[in-house]
Amino acid sequence: MLTKNNNNMKSTFYKLLIFAICCFSSSNLFAQKFEELAQTPPMGWNSWNTFQTNINEQMLRDMVDAYVSSGMRDAGYTYFVLDDGWMAMQRDSNGSLVADPKKFPSGMKAFADYVHSKGLKFGIYNCAGTHTCAGYPGTHGYEYQDARLYASWGVDYLKYDWCNTDSINARDAYLTMSRAIRAAGRPMIFSLCEWGNHGPWLWAKNVGQLWRTTTDIHAGFAQDLNNGNWTSFGVLHILDLQDHIRQYAGPGHWNDPDMLEVGNGMTYAEDKAHFSLWCMLAAPLISGNDLRKMSPQTISVLTNKEVISVNQDSLGMECFKYYSFDGIEIFVKALKDNSLAVCFLNRSSRQQNINFDWKEHLITDTVSKLDIDFNKNTYVLRDLWAKKNIGTTNKPLKQTIGSHEVLMLKLSKVN
Ligand code: GLA
């Protein structure tokens, strides 16, 4: 009897030991990323949306200068990210990536130094596949070597794409690169760009700081763009794909509905709506326009600090769609200090008059734990584009909203 008890205890002990080892190793396996980065959605600029692979050192140095002189840096944008096309078509004899010597005659370290000298952080692109989407050498099989190279250049941000990955497992590939970055020892934001194909919001929280949720955006508001064998999505289409995954985002781990197209050809109203919605979504704000040639309107959209502060709110909550009627949608985002952002979007092709009686609405949300009754509490309404207070929630809101326009409000509780 005694022996049987002993055996039972032994076997329970070993089971517990194995369980503890499994827990320890799996938490180690996943806890790779630099936890302290991107506590609010990253803000920056990326070369892809305007230039694709047509980049070169001089043009990019001018872009860095414009980043600073236009006020983008002062508005909170920090990262300067080179997308696809920065490298030579072949690795060198040691298997190392090399910057295309024609595009970057001074080399990548010198360019990174220039970016840093302006008080910005430097980002770069590669791909989990054998080749990048534009056909340059991919990182598959070179993860640790590439991460060490990036660290030696002073890279602060890596966007990691998903082309040419036929037989590769997505979770493994992104985890391997995350571990390689950790091993290289330099804190880098890790931006997963597998287009939401493998539900990264379910597994990437400890792997990287942001993950794309859809295919590529294009500079269109209500329509998609057929590119032959694939389609890029307009702003509204991408917006519609975000609501069901909002609970997976928060400080240090963000859903990424792709980079901004502000200043790339939509109307002023559409640019404001796109920017407002990305701020409501707590999306990374990565501008993708030519910073050297911004109109005053484009600058005013990208640098509106009151709208940006909704994006950068420390609670890190994504908005939810509260209400929808006749082409008008209302999005609500919980902010710190019991404040709220409320964005009315007119998706329709005609101007609409809204008459919204706050007191007829109870706003509740399980994710952000909102429970608001405007009969019990009053809020001051601030129009974040007009930059003025427009009354309180004690009176119905009466406004005209143009087609594809937003009314973006911040509500502050009156104590
Ligand atoms: C994919 C990505 C884009 C861009 C290109 C580069 O399409 O989704 O954001 O990085 O590749 O080739």
pLDDT tens sequence across 41-70 = 999 999 999 999 999 999 999 999 999 999
Q: How confident is the model at residue 14 (pLDDT cuts 50, 70, 90)?
A: low
- Gap between the Cα atoms of 3 and 5, Å rounded: 5
pLDDT of residue 2: 42
CA distance 278 to 254: 12
Averaged pLDDT, 4-14: 57
Tokens of 117: 């000298």
Residue 13: pLDDT band (50, 70, 90) is low
Residue closest via CA to ligand 1's atom 3 equals: 216
Contacts for 261 with CB less than 8 Å, ≥ 6 apart = 49, 217, 218, 219, 235, 271, 274, 288, 289
Query: For residue 415, what pLDDT is reported?
Result: 86
Residue 27 has pLDDT above 60, yes or no: no
- Contact between 343 and 381 under an 8 Å Cβ cutoff? The reply is no
Q: Is the pLDDT of residue 213 over 90?
A: yes
H or E segment and range at residue 121: strand 121-127
- Residues lining ligand 1, CB < 6 A? 48, 83-84, 125, 132-134, 161, 193, 216
Distance from C-alpha of 155 to C-alpha of 257, rounded to nearest angstrom: 23
43-311 CATH fold? TIM Barrel (3.20.20)
What is the residue-wise DSSP string for 175-188? HHHHHHHHHHTS--
Determine how β-strand 388-392 pairs with β-strand 379-383: antiparallel
The pLDDT of residue 198: 98
pLDDT given for residue 32 in this prediction: 82
Mutate to test the pocket of ligand 1, among 125, 158, 161 (most ligand atoms within 8 A of CB): 161
Domain ranges in the chain? 43-311, 320-413
Q: At residue 316, does pLDDT exceed 90? A: yes
Cα separations in angstroms, 321 against 43, 247, 334, 342: 24, 13, 12, 10
Tokens encoding 236: 């509204």
DSSP 235-267: HHHHHHTTGGGGGG-BTTBEEE-----TTSSS-
Query: Closest ligand 1 atom, CA of 83?
Result: 10
Which of 49, 84, 127, 164 gets mutated to test ligand 1 (max ligand atoms within 8 A of its CB)? 84
Torsion sign across C-alpha atoms 391, 394, 400, 406: positive
Residue 3 has a pLDDT of: 47
pLDDT value at residue 17: 56
216 annotated active-site = yes
**CA–CA separation, 85 and 60 (whole Å):** 13
Instruction: Check pLDDT > 80 for residue 16.
Output: no
CATH of domain 320-413: 2.60.40.1180
Pairing mode of beta strands 231-232, 379-383: unpaired
Do 272 and 257 form a contact (C-beta atoms < 8 A)? no
328-334 and 340-346 as β-strands: parallel, antiparallel, unpaired?
A: antiparallel
